[in-house]
Amino acid sequence: MTLTAPAAAPSDPYAEAPSASPIRFLYRLNPVAKLAAPAPAMVLLVFVRDAATPAAFLALAYALLLVGVRMTRRLALVLFVGLPIGMFVIGLGFSLWTDPTRIDAGDAVARVGGWTIYLGMLETGFGTALRLGAIVALSLLVGLSTTGPDLARSFVQQLRVPYRIGYTALAALRFVPRFGTELEVIRQAHRVRGAHGGRGPIAAIARWSGYIVPLLAGAIRHAERVALAMDARAFGAYPDRTERHLVPWRVRDTVFVAAFLLVSTAIFWLFFPWGL
């Protein structure tokens, strides 16, 4: 008799995120604090025209992410490979699209046939890429250290978003991991039955088309159960509801927001990118 190892238990899509080291402080901050702190800088970065200011905010965001977030291989690839490559491609593209007659073109850097690339074009293109990269990196402060349910709860509890909107968004977020779990179950069931075997694009299209109907049926059943559960709990019948999971605003949240705004003000004051 052949003994096989027991299959690994599927991950619970509703389980809380594992606790992080105390050094990873971003996980212990209120989501509203992590959103409110970089928001003014993200808005003002749209209007800057130099490269030093977005580069400073990019360095600040990277420093906070390296200290405050668990570093995984996927995150390292995003931060040190994906984002730099994306900024380079965007910067090069914007440099080629920049009209040299509308800027201070400066000296010619390269000539490709009848196309001349000037220093001003590169400064404009890569300055734009740095701004976009800094905005993306700042948004990762909240995106990489906050779960969707906690973000929805903090909006309801701190920003006083109506719970009908917040908890509806929370219920919608619950669909995402459930879809992933159900899709994996459907794929395993098809694999056991030998359905849609083979390789190549035609076989892949056939396999994925076979997943649509059972996945849609499962989504409809789940939506009906959620609607019945919400009706059974008189969802929307009262102006307020009690909270089971609290996302409190603590002193450290105030300190983080104040410190980030202070550093942001110092960066803008130091570089003053508007040239007034």
Distance (Å, whole) CA 62 – CA 8: 35
- In the predicted structure, residue 276 carries a pLDDT above the cut 60: no
Distance (Å, whole) CA 130 – CA 136: 10
pLDDT digits (tens, 9 = 90+) for 146-184: 888 888 888 888 888 888 888 888 777 778 788 888 888
Distance (Å, whole) CA 169 – CA 155: 11
240 with 13: CB under 8 angstroms? Answer: no
Residue 10 is encoded by which pair of tokens?
Answer: 């599927």
| End-to-end CA separation in angstroms for the chain | 82
Cross-strand partners of 108? 118
CA angle 29, 34, 39 (to 5 degrees): 165
Cα dist from 268 to 34, 137, 256, whole Å = 20, 17, 18
Distance (Å, whole) CA 47 – CA 106: 22
Query: Residue ranges of the domains in the chain?
Result: 25-153+248-271, 161-232
Distance (Å, whole) CA 60 – CA 75: 17
pLDDT digits (tens, 9 = 90+) for 67-117: 999 988 999 999 999 999 999 999 988 888 877 777 776 667 677 666 777
- In the predicted structure, residue 272 carries a pLDDT above the cut 60: yes
Q: 50: Cβ–Cβ under 8 A, 6 or more apart, which residues?
A: 127, 271, 273
Helix axes 52-68, 251-271, angle to 10 degrees: 150
pLDDT digits (tens, 9 = 90+) for 220-256: 888 888 888 888 877 777 777 777 788 889 999 999 9
